[in-house]
Chains A and B, each alone.
Chain A
Amino acid sequence: MVERRSLAEQVTLLDLVDRVLNKGVVVTGDVTLSVADVDLVYVGLRLLLASAATLEREAAR
């Protein structure tokens, strides 16, 4: 159990999003992610990463 957890922890968030949010069987639940939602994740990650990079640059000054 411990080993499996550590494996999941090594996985990058991007690889997780690639699989957990983009793949897998889509079922119709009370809430179902749409393609638009997943695109939102990409947009969101871009903004987050872009702002993190800006922060790092500012910190380096």
Chain B
Amino acid sequence: MIEAPAGTAWYVYGVAEDDPTLARLEGVELIRDSGLTAVVRAVPLEEYDEAALPERLNDRDWLERNARAHEDVLQEVAAVTAVVPLRFGAIYRSRDQVLGMLDERAGEFRSTLERVRGHVELGVKAWVDLPSLERTLGGDEVAAAGSAGAAYLQRRRQEQERSRQATARCAELAEEAHRRLSEVAVAAVANRPQPRELTGRTEAMVLNGAYLVRSGDDLLRLEVERLGKEHSSDGVEYELTGPWPPHNFAEERT
């Protein structure tokens, strides 16, 4: 295996620590260089043609199929050895170019592998049911005296005030959760919560965190359970995802 077959290119999923067991993985090829292994697969070049890519990315079936394939390969590799996930869509026309990339970034890959070895990424999302949070915040309905117009205005003001308090409370809850989860993790990242129009849920996502923990370590899961119990009266639900390959911890921290 020297060059990708005609009309194809090497898609690189990730860079792993060299391990003989990797050779057992099906459907992928390995390009090795001084202790580092690029896990690759030959893909049709036309699928990743730069001109066609924006359109492909907006083809839900194509995107889903290829994003899942990317994740599947990384999970299989991560089950065997430490891996640095690459971002979707790293394409090289020749083996030499892959070797060049490994060589150029070797120092960075080695230090990241060192950092993530024996660890997994867990995702934690916090969902808030805003109506029930606003109910907990109370703000008794004060029966307004006077005209219907004045009563309406007062009701509007109360609603706005409750909504402002709810927003503040959400930020507070998310911050507390992220702080407590960070304390039981080796590294932590709070990502932008996914917008409601994409999640399709009525609850709002207020925390979209990723946490690097030692594999088999149960502390984070237990903390998520504790947070869930403590915050359930505020209308907050926690969701734990993973274990994931360390997507969020692959880049060197600056």
Q: Does B72 contact A (CB under 8 A)?
A: yes
**Smallest distance from the beta carbon of A52 to chain B beta carbons, Å?**
9
Chain A 12-35: CB-based contact to B (< 8 A → 1; otherwise 0): 011111111111111111111100
Considering the complex, give the chain B residue whose CB is closest to the CB of A33.
Answer: B89
Cα distance A25–B250 in the bound complex, in angstroms: 6
Cα distance A4–B120 in the bound complex, in angstroms: 14
A: contact size bracket: 35 or more
Interface of A is mostly: helix
Q: Which residues of A contact B108 (CB under 8 A)?
A: 25
B71 touches A8 (CB 8 A): yes
Q: Which residues of A contact B141 (CB under 8 A)?
A: none
Considering the complex, give the chain A residue whose CB is closest to the CB of B71.
Answer: A8
Cα distance A8–B242 in the bound complex, in angstroms: 9
B71 touches A19 (CB 8 A): yes
- Quick one: which of A4, A13, A24 contacts B86, CB cutoff 8 A? A24
- Quick one: which of B9, B49, B85 contacts A24, CB cutoff 8 A? B85
Cα distance A3–B92 in the bound complex, in angstroms: 31
Q: Does B218 contact A (CB under 8 A)?
A: no
Considering the complex, give the chain A residue whose CB is closest to the CB of B48.
Answer: A31
Instruction: Provide 25 A-B residue pairs closer than 8 Å at the C-beta atoms, listed in order of the A residue.
Output: A4-B72, A4-B79, A8-B75, A13-B60, A19-B244, A20-B85, A21-B88, A23-B248, A23-B251, A24-B84, A24-B85, A24-B251, A26-B86, A29-B90, A29-B97, A29-B101, A31-B48, A31-B91, A37-B54, A40-B58, A44-B63, A46-B198, A49-B197, A49-B198, A53-B200
